[in-house]
Amino acid sequence: MAAIVEAARREDWAKRYGARVAAVISNRASAGGLEFARKRGLDTAVLDHKAFVTREAFDEALAAAIGRYDSPAAPALVVLAGFMRILTPAFVSRHEGRLLNIHPSLLPAFPGLHTHERVLEAGCRFAGATVHLVTTELDHGPILAQAAVPVLPADDADTLAARVLTQEHNLYPRAIGEWLLTHQLDEAGQR
């Protein structure tokens, strides 16, 4: 998330694409990204998923929070960064085509959790990260961008994860910029 916020400012996404990072919303009050966002003047919100009886109720509240930043002329691009919750089909459908995620593998290989451990157990020579559109099938949406890193002989899950994370910090902002470029609105609010 921090890499995205910094790229948006450094590359002047407001001027370049007519886009800005409007808010950071987390389901954990302790998320470090909230303080990072506040220090940069961004709106923040916390929706503790444990306070909701159902996944659907949480997703409705999350959609409402996101909706405060949505408008017909500038629909919100919803970017998941460190958000480790499976979203309901209704939520995904509501944001279809503008809901992005990054996953620490070269999808379609190794969707889900414990990615780096599974890469090492499988004896892969390369690992990486994938930015994709979110669909109702976990980590199976259309791929927007990927970055590969070699798996080194001395790697453990932590060293591999650190190297992949470095690529994620470059890949995700670049993929968002490319998405924004291809989805720019003209002055009449049309694509």
Q: Please state the pTM of the whole predicted model.
A: 0.92
Which residue would you say has higher pLDDT here, 62 or 73? 62
In a domain, 171, yes or no: yes
Could you tell me the pLDDT band of residue 52, with boundaries at 50, 70 and 90?
A: very high
Active-site annotation holder among 95, 103, 116, 132: 103
**pLDDT surpassing 50 at residue 187:** no
Cβ atoms of 24 and 37 within 8 Å: the answer is yes
Average pLDDT, the chain: 93
Q: Give, in degrees to the nearest 5, the angle at Cα 63 between 40 and 106.
A: 75
**pLDDT surpassing 70 at residue 190:** no
In a domain, 189, yes or no: no
Say whether 169 is catalytic: no
**pLDDT surpassing 80 at residue 32:** yes
DSSP string for 73-139: SSPPPEE-SS---PPPHHHHHHTTTSEEEEESS-TTSS-SS-HHHHHHHTT-SEEEEEEEE--SSTT
In a domain, 124, yes or no: yes
In a domain, 190, yes or no: no
- Give the count of domains, the chain: 1
Can you tell me the mean pLDDT for 166-184?
A: 94
In a domain, 188, yes or no: no
**pLDDT surpassing 60 at residue 191:** no
Q: Which domain holds residue 34?
A: 2-182
**pLDDT surpassing 50 at residue 189:** no
CATH number of the domain enclosing 46:
3.40.50.170
What is the phi-psi region of residue 177: left when phi exceeds 0, alpha when psi lies from -120 to 50, beta otherwise? alpha
Could you tell me the pLDDT band of residue 162, with boundaries at 50, 70 and 90?
A: very high
**pLDDT surpassing 90 at residue 148:** yes
Could you tell me the pLDDT band of residue 74, with boundaries at 50, 70 and 90?
A: low
**pLDDT surpassing 50 at residue 173:** yes
